């Protein structure tokens, strides 16, 4: 019993790390650019399908296939960015349009709705063969190595002139433009980088689970938001950017652990999406309720009773 | 320095909400001019400044700044030549970013933004000195998020940012209107220091007639999308608030319906 729970935990952390890459991508749009980007569900599956077909049909090197899949995500993000900035379509709708279009694109890429990847060489079984480590450990290893590199790169990038311009665009577009920033360009850039990370995550996940599926991205945006919000609720809104990014990843792992626990407790996998939606709704409302309670508790009509107003 | 010819602007043309905001504006400014702009609500003062800044496209005419035709350039490109401060203190700074980061963004106005550091150590020292000159104690709070500052502090910072790269033209649209009287006076004092100290060319919209008379070397009055009065030099210095009100009544053929202008 204990062993099986530990095993489940181990798997959850590995999955959390790989999905954490996606959550980092969503963090860029949701928290930095202040855009709710719904491209994510499509670009996650795009990463998985592109990588899957490159591995299964062309027999490409897994690392190269993963990188090409990420670039496909970059392109998908740019499409949303162009729809939003050049055609003036509201960001949410632009994301939905790209996401919808990508469903057909993904079907075209894969040629069918599901592609098994059990018999092809992937990033993971390559390392399993080379090191003899258990697969669960390998997925944690790959996830952690990729995440450390990504967090370092993102930390550096958002400290550069270009990264600062993206942050300024997200914080105050009016100010950004009046200080000479081409806000349209920086929005497209942010969306592209974000969806590149999402597709990278999709590519790794499909290799990890042993198949690519056109439906693998359904609900991905909500899972990503859950990770971001769990990270913020548990670790507070820290100031250091690297800490913030790490909190997102930890949020992702904790989300996976919660999922593993409720599945162990007998939740039907079909109910999982409802559970996730409810979890995010609760997590999003917790800060609001806490603030209200604090306000109510500290209120006093007369300003007496030792309370300072 | 600035040459505006035949500029008109109608908002929502061809709809029931059609609003003529500027009518055939001709206006020239020399280098070093500090022009105050007055006029009733809806006279077109903000629109004039927005047309120069490129917030909306103009319907016709040309705008030259420092010999460059900027009539059809996008806002972010014109920004290289301009410094702007808005009426709303929230508009001019990025609330989620630190004071030094905001200044660094302004320091790169009109330059390409690459992959070198967004703020360097050397710059920080420079900013510390400039902030100290504001006399608001901001030099010791450089890593504080701008969102935590007061409206007056943010406005002073925006002013500093606008002047940081020595703009060809500084556009101030009622930039003290949202501040309490004491803070407004302080920001206005800073404005004069920065404009006159740096030999900048500037336009300042205000509803305070006394400020409009005492500040700058030239005054224009707008009414229904036109510039109806333009004085400079000694003649301007000799004006009184009563003169301006009379001028306004003459030009508009009615009494002033703007209480804010009378408050002066
Ligand atoms: N974005 C816009 N869309 C439609 N109409 C506008 C827009 N901006 C300004 N107008 C109209 O143009 C006219 C001039 O407005 P403007 O804001 O320039 O006046 P103002 O002189 O700055 O007045 P105030 O003293 O109230 O700031 C007004 O009739 C206004 O309703
Ligand atoms: Mg105005």
> What CATH number does the domain containing A89 carry?
1.10.3470
Distance B50 CA to ligand 2 centre (A): 10
Domain identity same for A7 and A147? yes
Domain identity same for A108 and A63? yes
Q: Which protein residues touch ligand 1 with a CB less than 6 Å away?
A: B 11-12, 19, 21, 39, 41-47
Domain identity same for A112 and A252? yes
Q: Is the pLDDT of residue B224 over 60?
A: yes
Cα–Cα dist A280/A276, whole Å: 6
Number of domains, chain A = 2
Cα–Cα dist A285/A178, whole Å: 35
B187 lies in some domain: yes
List for chain B the helix, strand, coil content (%; round to 5): 40, 25, 40
- Asked if A179 has any chain B CB less than 8 Å from its own CB, the reply is yes
B147 lies in some domain: no
Look up the CATH number of the domain holding residue B234.
Answer: 3.40.50.300
Q: What is the pLDDT of residue B264?
A: 44
Distance B173 CA to ligand 2 centre (A): 7
Cα–Cα dist A97/A80, whole Å: 8
Nearest residue CA, atom 3 of ligand 1? Answer: B11
Average pLDDT of every residue of chain A: 93
**Contact of B165 with B106, CB cutoff 8 Å:** yes
Give the 3-state secondary structure of residue B103. Answer: helix
Distance from first CA to last CA of chain A, Å, rounded? 54
Domain identity same for A146 and A10? yes
Distance from first CA to last CA of chain B, Å, rounded? 31
Cα–Cα dist A184/A165, whole Å: 11
Q: Which of A85, A156, A175 to mutate to test the interface with B (most CBs of B within 10 A)?
A: A175
Share of chain A above pLDDT 70, in %: 97
B111 lies in some domain: no
Average pLDDT of every residue of chain B: 93
Confidence of residue A283 (pLDDT cuts 50, 70, 90): confident
Q: What is the pLDDT of residue A86?
A: 97
Distance B249 CA to ligand 1 centre (A): 21
Q: Which residues of B touch A182 (CB under 8 A)?
A: 74, 76
Given ligand 1 and candidates B11, B36, B37, B208, which is best to mutate, with the most ligand atoms within 8 Å of its CB? B11
In angstroms, what CA-CA distances link B222 with A19, B55, B230, B250, B254?
A: 59, 20, 9, 13, 14
Distance B38 CA to ligand 2 centre (A): 10
Q: Which residues of B touch A178 (CB under 8 A)?
A: 53, 75, 79, 82, 84, 92
Q: Is the pLDDT of residue B246 over 60?
A: yes
Tell me which residue in A171, A180, A182 faces B94 most closely, judged by beta carbons: A171
| Angle at which helices A2-27 and A241-264 cross, to 10° | 140
Domain identity same for A206 and A110? yes
Number of domains, chain B = 1
Q: Per-residue pLDDT tens for B7-56?
A: 999 999 999 999 999 999 999 999 999 999 999 999 999 999 999 999 99
Domain around A297: 271-309
Q: Which of A177, A306, A279, A167 is CA-nearest to residue A219?
A: A279
Domain identity same for A175 and A304? no
Distance from CA of A35 to the nearest CA of B (A): 15
Domain identity same for A80 and A160? yes
What average pLDDT does the segment B129-135 reach?
93
Give residues whose Cβ lies within 5 Å of ion ligand 2: B 46
What average pLDDT does the segment A42-66 reach?
97
Taking the C-alpha atoms of A36, A153, A233 and A165 in order, what is their torsion angle to the nearest 10 degrees? -50
Domain around B36: 2-81+167-252
Q: Is the pLDDT of residue A29 over 90?
A: yes
What average pLDDT does the segment B111-128 reach?
96
Domain identity same for A15 and A86? yes
- Asked if B149 has any chain A CB less than 8 Å from its own CB, the reply is no
B247 lies in some domain: yes
B123 lies in some domain: no
Cα–Cα dist B255/B251, whole Å: 10
Cα–Cα dist A196/A199, whole Å: 5
Q: What is the pLDDT of residue B258?
A: 53
B20 lies in some domain: yes
Q: A291-303: buried (b, 16+ CB within 10 Å) or exposed (e) per residue?
A: eeeeeeeeeeeee
Domain identity same for A145 and A157? yes
Distance from CA of A289 to the nearest CA of B (A): 23
What average pLDDT does the segment B231-237 reach?
91
Domain identity same for A276 and A263? no
Q: Per-residue pLDDT tens for B180-212?
A: 999 999 999 999 999 999 999 999 999 999 999
Q: Per-residue pLDDT tens for A219-262?
A: 999 999 999 999 998 887 777 999 999 999 999 999 999 998 88
Domain identity same for A117 and A6? yes
- Strand (E) or helix (H) holding B20: strand B19-29
Domain identity same for A140 and A214? yes
Tell me which residue in A159, A170, A181 faces B76 most closely, judged by beta carbons: A181
**Contact of B162 with B134, CB cutoff 8 Å:** no
Q: Is the pLDDT of residue B263 over 50?
A: no
Confidence of residue B261 (pLDDT cuts 50, 70, 90): low
């Amino acid at each position: 019993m204990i062993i099986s729970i530990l095993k489940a935990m181990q798997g959850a952390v590995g999955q959390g790390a790989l999905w954490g890459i996606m959550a980092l991508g969503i963090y860029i749009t949701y928290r930095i650019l202040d855009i709710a980007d719904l491209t994510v569900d499509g670009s996650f599956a795009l990463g998985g399908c592109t990588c899957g077909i490159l591995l299964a049909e062309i027999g490409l090197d897994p690392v190269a296939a993963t990188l090409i899949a990420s670039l496909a995500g970059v392109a998908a993000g740019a499409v949303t960015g162009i729809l939003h900035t050049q055609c003036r379509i509201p960001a949410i709708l632009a994301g939905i349009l790209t996401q919808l279009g990508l469903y057909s694109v993904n079907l075209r890429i894969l040629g069918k709705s599901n592609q098994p990847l059990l018999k092809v060489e992937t990033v993971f079984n390559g390392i399993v063969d080379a090191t003899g480590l258990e697969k669960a450990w390998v997925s944690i290893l790959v996830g952690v190595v990729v995440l450390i590199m990504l967090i370092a790169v993102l930390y550096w990038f958002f400290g550069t002139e270009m990264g600062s311009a993206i942050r300024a665009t997200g914080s105050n577009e009016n100010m950004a433009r009046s200080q000479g920033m081409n806000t349209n360009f920086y929005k497209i850039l942010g969306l592209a980088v974000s969806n590149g990370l999402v597709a990278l995550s999709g590519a790794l996940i499909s290799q990890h689970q042993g198949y690519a599926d056109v439906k693998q991205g359904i609900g991905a945006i909500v899972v990503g938001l859950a990770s971001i919000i769990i990270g913020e609720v548990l670790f507070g809104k820290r100031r250091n950017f690297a800490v913030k990014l790490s909190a997102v990843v930890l949020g992702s792992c904790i989300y996976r652990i919660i999922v593993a626990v409720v599945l162990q407790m007998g939740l039907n996998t079909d109910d999982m999406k409802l559970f996730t939606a409810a979890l995010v709704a609760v997590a999003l409302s917790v800060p609001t309720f806490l603030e209200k309670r604090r306000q109510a508790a500290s209120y006093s009509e007369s300003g007496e009773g030792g309370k300072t107003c | 320095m600035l040459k505006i010819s035949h500029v008109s602007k109608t908002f929502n043309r061809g709809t029931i909400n059609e609003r003529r905001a500027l009518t055939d504006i001709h206006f020239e400014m020399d280098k070093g001019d500090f022009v105050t702009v007055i006029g009733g609500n809806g006279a077109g003062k903000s629109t004039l400044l927005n047309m120069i800044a490129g917030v909306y496209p103009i319907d016709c005419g040309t705008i030259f700044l420092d010999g460059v035709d900027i009539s059809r350039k996008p806002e972010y490109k014109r920004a290289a030549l301009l410094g702007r401060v808005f009426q709303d203190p929230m508009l001019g700074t990025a609330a989620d970013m630190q004071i030094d980061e905001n200044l660094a963004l302004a320091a790169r106005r009109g330059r390409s933004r690459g992959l070198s550091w967004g703020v360097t150590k050397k710059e920080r020292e420079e900013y510390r000195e400039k902030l100290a000159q504001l006399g608001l104690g901001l030099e010791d709070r450089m890593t504080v998020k701008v969102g935590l500052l007061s409206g007056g502090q943010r406005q002073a910072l925006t002013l500093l940012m606008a002047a940081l790269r020595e703009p060809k033209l500084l556009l101030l649209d009622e930039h003290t209107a949202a501040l309490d009287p004491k803070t407004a006076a302080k920001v206005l004092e800073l404005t004069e220091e920065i404009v006159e100290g740096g030999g900048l060319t500037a336009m300042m919209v205000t509803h305070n007639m006394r400020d409009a008379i005492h500040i700058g070397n030239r005054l224009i009055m707008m009414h229904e999308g036109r510039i109806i009065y333009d004085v400079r030099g000694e003649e301007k210095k000799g004006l009184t608030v009563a003169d301006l009100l009379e001028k306004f009544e003459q030009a508009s053929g009615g009494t002033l319906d703007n209480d804010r202008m009378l408050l002066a």
